[in-house]
Structure 1
């Protein structure tokens, strides 16, 4: 614990009638003023005339301290002064504002409020009607934090939530809080419950928590949802087999048992697609399947035979049938001395295309 700083004033008579003035302080380094004139820092030694002199000390972080010294010729004069630490201004605020602030048992005003405090620890309490109070200890220092804000939460009351069936994941106002049956405390007023359970539709329900000792109760009945597989295939006339049985795709969700299922999609002129689909209980899983056309032959006859032929921009050899994907292709034939010929040819899946140029 820091004691009160001490200033020692010594006056010693000089041979010529002046008096030697000595000033010391704890802590040292204080600026010394004698009769309004700055003369140095403690520890200080100087000459003054006999009589009364006003001695004043200043030091950052300490209150200005002064004393009148009576200096008598031919006598030592020793005077001590104390430097007291200056208070630190601390800003106290709360959310919401308007709370009554009490420091060390004394009311200091309504937040936000500035308070001058000595360095060290101070007991702070904040009180606001309709909110939970705050009681804490402030540590005040010159190099430490000086702005303090305290959120004041509203009182919390009991809420109990049950579901049928139990075991649902519960969200309160969008925040996950646990599994039903659940009980906890929250602010009074309207709230939103959201319950989710595998195999059941997510349920949302509003509840108003009452400010009373007894808990507010909410019961939610969950609705089962089917386990289903929604299929879309392209081309739409493809044949679809689900677990070896033909089904109609592109017509909505198909009820299935939970677990893995074998899916096969086929159509003449296209590669067969086989895949496994896992459908969790109570969920509808969507799958889209697009078949890849098988390559077909395209035969190009060109005259003269040594003309350069390009298929979709690439030079090709047309002495043998070309393997192409079904669809429309651009064919170009050119030879020096002849007019360049361009032609579009459409090749359908499962067919053989021919073009003469």
Structure 2
């Protein structure tokens, strides 16, 4: 009997190998999700494995058949050198160069088929299929040719199922068991193995790719730089072997795992939960073990089992049966879960991380709804399940909505700006309104618009009133229009009396709203009148400016002074000019003197400007140091310098009781005037001499006469005094 080696530690060892191979990429023998159950050193080449129970091994002229537990159930010899073989339902077909031999399981030869240049053989429950360099030939077990196809040329691989025949070289053909060609498809490269899962699902290994064909169409294709030697479907996982490398895919073509088995695999078949692989000299059986396959969206998440880090998704891991806890972490996101494993169970675990949505709005504090769920008030950031949602925000009667896609482990930012509202009301109502050139209805109306500037046109009686408004988010911008006409009155002077129709108005207001129609505006000012009739339409603004004229009279002393009004020369004094009732700056220039006056016409009455020019003179008196006055106004003590107006004045000087006045004419070239009071002083002195000195003299003479004798006195008095008197008098007159 052959030596059958059973490994009682296979499960434990396999768990370690799967982790290391899958995540550290070490070259260690092992198949992820499987534990090696037994191995047999057959010493011969394995030609085929029955998908039900048997393994066929042939070396030169020796045939060995094993069951799925590695027990040799048949052993017999051949009298020829075998090149190909197939076993199905206890039927064995062995191919040589020019013949094919049909055997029973116990080695009994049942039939010989003569086919030159044989390439491959296959057997079903009732048919034998032989491929050679010319085509394919289908026989029954009695040796009768059922049908053949030679037009397809040389065939390398042939497989038969319960209802179909598949043959291939660089194309794949599907025939019914009666010989009808159902479809064919180009594969682009030489076929090395065919694995029909059903009559419509076939997996093909070629010299450079793994291909899935469904219903005659390539579903998916994986390209490699090395040949895919054999393909097998086991537990809904497609495993392709290329040398020692094994690649596992799900039926959609998604890679589940890949590993270096450390074995040069030439054939693999699945028998129930067992994966049987053959090398050039051994047969190994791997049984499905308990474990998990962990995938996540997105992939690359770190996986912790029972608190221990075991790798990153996608991950296949063998575990002991029982309860376990799992935690996945990815870029700040965390998923926790628990699970239980039955013996031999391989549990797929697929996790999708939550995504994050961050919502801001203008204005803030808006209510946020994601689908049917209320999340809170803006601004907010929450984790939610991935998917497509209707995002709805509400704020004071305003709503904002958008369809958003939340992706796993991704931050989705949404900024919402609420619309604003333009509310238009008019008197009268039912007036047409356009916003940004589009008709939006009739007043009163509310229209929601995006925030920003908008052009609002209100159309009334074929006339358009334009309003430009800046609309704020979640706010109402009101436009109220009363379709009156407006008179803007600019009246100078403002003291004028203004009538609109028969109604007197106050012009200080500036503007007046009136109903559309015809109006007479009448203005009175200082005996003058202005009148005009206006026809005003709805919304019309009429600007009325009226400036009345008046008279400006300008005079000066002396005459002939130059006159300038607002900087422009207009003549010489005296001057009378008709001007508007405004404000003027009047300059009157005489020689080197200038007088500036501001004249404001606040009424329509004439205005007068009178200017008297002055002259600086020196005043001298004789004697000096006495008080001086001009026109009875004291101005100081002589000598002095003073300024007086040009023209005639009265100059007066006073000394004690003596005063003198003279008339002076101040001309532009007058520099000095003088006044003397010696004459009155001399006259008054003479009077004093007569009134005072003579009585004194008489008194003195009288005293002398008293000391003389009478005669003497008499004589003297009679002769001498008269002479003396005349002598004194003459002196005084001189």
Q: Which TM class, normalised by the smaller chain length?
A: 0.3 to 0.5
User: TM-score, normalization: structure 1?
Assistant: 0.40
